[in-house]
Amino acid sequence: MRVLHFYKTYYPDSVGGIEQVIRQLCVGTGRLGVTNTVLSLSRHKDLAPIEFDGHAVHRVPLDFEIASNACSLAALGALTRMAQQADVVHYHFPWPFMDMAHFISRVKKPTVVSYHSDIVRQKRLLRLYQPLKHRFLRSVDSIVAASPNYLASSPVLDRYRDKTRVITYGLDKSTYPAVEPCRLAHWRAKVGPKFFLFVGVLRYYKGLHILLEAARESDFPIVIVGTGPEEQALKDQAARLGLTHVIFTGALDEADKAALLTLCYAVAFPSHLRSEAFGISLLEGAMYGKPMISCEIGTGTTYINLDGETGLAVPPSDPQALGHALRTLWDKPELARRMGARAEERYHELFTSERMAASYTALYQELVARKATANAGGSVGLAGLPPTR
């Protein structure tokens, strides 16, 4: 079974939530006999194919961007050639250029779309994009949502329930670095023995400006790991508010990130818009047995974090509620310990890479079998795939 993944960014150029999902998919399904290849775009000059965690990565030059929509002429030919060698083409949505590339490249293989998020921000451009988006989603064989919460709340997915199923994201802790004692000691000396942690790309929908407002009423340490387009504005806001207890580390390697996940008291994840469809770093917190604070935005964040069970969920864009949740966990260590333990249990129950890989491998096999039946003259259509939950 050969699967081609197509997404605008991937390792080693970019490290984000969707990239981590694709990585975990490739590693997990690879153990089940799937040969994975990732096709992505890059700004770098040396674009020789590389091997990464047991799968191949092919990059083509990124030519230009329009409203964060990365475009590449070379990707059109690459998708055509590589799809011919694949048994299944696995798209990762949203990426409008990908929709167009699918049609230009005349992909005829079985297709699956991991629907990572609705498009939330570019409302004017979205109106222009709507016809292409729906033509693309109608044309693919299966759509996968990452949580029942998102399937229930997305007006786009509601139109395609007949071919949409739920397969939650999963992580494999063994792919994370073992943390050396000296690294733990380094970070403990730098940030203290008890702190809240945020990890992620510093984007507009992460709600970090709300977290900083909430931090005005407290003095407990908050460590923010990552870089991104909102970094300077957030640092300026922290300086303006006098938040000396908020620490920006910038981008860190995987070993340092694992050390901070090991050490932190709890994970703060204040994403306030539906662009945050799941929250991989939130799931990392659960995997490390940490209590969590997140916002109820109708997405996978509160599928990972059950309010009152694995952590606390607060209304979005509400600094007072967020600050109260931070204070509650800080002042109640036994409650925090119990929530963290339950978070880790829930990770093992629902969110392992092994579980995700098995579900996707079964879907790939189903799509290939149905394609073979159709080619042999069968009448079973792919649009009739039942949704699973």
Task: Identify the pLDDT of residue 122.
Answer: 66
Compute the distance between CA of residue 114 and CA of residue 168 in angstroms, rounded to an integer.
10
C-alpha torsion sign, points 210, 216, 222, 223 = positive
| Residue 100 exposed, middle or buried by CB count within 10 Å (0-12, 13-18, 19+) | middle
Compute the distance between CA of residue 54 and CA of residue 31 in angstroms, rounded to an integer.
9
Residue ranges of the domains in the chain? 2-170+353-369, 173-346
Statement: 2-170+353-369 belongs to CATH 3.50.50.60 = no
- Rounded to the nearest 10 degrees, the angle between the axes of helix 254-263 and helix 181-191 is 70
Are 2-170+353-369 and 173-346 in the same CATH fold?
yes
DSSP three-state, residue 382: helix
Compute the distance between CA of residue 63 and CA of residue 75 in angstroms, rounded to an integer.
10
Compute the distance between CA of residue 260 and CA of residue 188 in angstroms, rounded to an integer.
9
Calculate ∠ Cα 182-183-184, nearest 5°.
90
Per the CB < 8 A criterion, the answer to whether 215 and 222 are in contact is: yes
C-alpha torsion sign, points 257, 258, 262, 267 = positive
- pLDDT digit string (tens) for the chain, length 389 residues: 999 999 999 998 988 889 999 999 999 999 999 999 999 999 998 899 999 999 999 999 999 998 889 999 999 999 999 999 999 999 999 999 999 999 999 999 999 999 999 887 766 777 889 999 999 999 999 999 999 999 999 999 999 999 999 999 999 999 899 999 999 999 999 999 999 999 999 999 999 999 999 999 899 999 999 999 999 999 999 999 999 999 999 999 999 999 999 999 999 999 999 889 899 999 999 999 999 999 999 999 999 999 999 999 999 999 999 999 999 999 999 999 999 999 999 999 999 999 999 999 999 999 999 999 988 875 444 444 444 44
Task: Identify the pLDDT of residue 67.
Answer: 81
Residue in 125, 5, 108 with CA at minimum distance from that of residue 59: 5
User: For residue 85, which amino acid is it?
Assistant: Q
Token pair listed for 43: 């700004």
Cis peptide bond prior to 177, omega within 30° of 0:
no
With 0.85 as the threshold, say if the pTM is over it: yes
Per the CB < 8 A criterion, the answer to whether 268 and 326 are in contact is: yes
Superfamily name and number for 173-346 = Glycogen Phosphorylase B; (3.40.50.2000)
